[in-house]
Amino acid sequence: MKYSEFLQQDHFDLESLLAFAYGNMIEDPPDDFDARLPTPPFLMMDRILSIKKNGKRGKIIAEQDIRLDAWYFQCHFSGDPVQPGCLCVDAIWQLIGFYCVWCGALGAGRALGCEEVVFNGQIRPHNKVARYEIDILRFQDMKASGTSVVIGDGNVFIDNEHIATVKRARAGVFKNITYKDYPAKSVNSVGGTSRE
């Protein structure tokens, strides 16, 4: 798909999301287009049903099919399998980071935090579909610094039951932070606080 088509697309299937994760969805990526989603098994969505923007605000609705043999059910916990709640939060970060890139941000995405997470349910192996609904509260592209930030409120549903709320989740897209020559030691091979 051409970059101009990507910026206009209002939904994405699993094939498209996988292509994005592996870095080969965009045929003509602009300079500094380093964004990726995590690859399976850490990709926390199977499809984006709807992605919309309205000025600095927007909305995303996505789904994840729950698999009986998902990796996390094998280890969390033995005899009491449950999807870790932090993976629901990560799904929200993955989606708002994708939103940031879909809005034209260039660079690589990183989670930046959230203000509040509340769980009132759980995801078990025989559930069917998790749905993520995110209201984008603000998208800001600070072109001069090469940074873009998005903030959103997310709700998680399992088989249409509301089980979690993530308030003011934040993700950003930053230029010149990727570690493309892994595992060699290089300028971006060590983490820590963000460098200017």
11 is catalytic: no
CB 65 within 8 A of CB 132: no
CB 47 within 8 A of CB 13: yes
Out of 11, 76, 126, 162, the active site residue is 76
Sequence letter at residue 182: Y
d(CA 60, CA 102): 11
Helix (H) or strand (E) holding 49: strand 47-54
- Do the bridges between strand 116-119 and strand 47-54 make them parallel or antiparallel, or are there none, so unpaired? unpaired
Question: Which residues belong to the active site?
Answer: 76
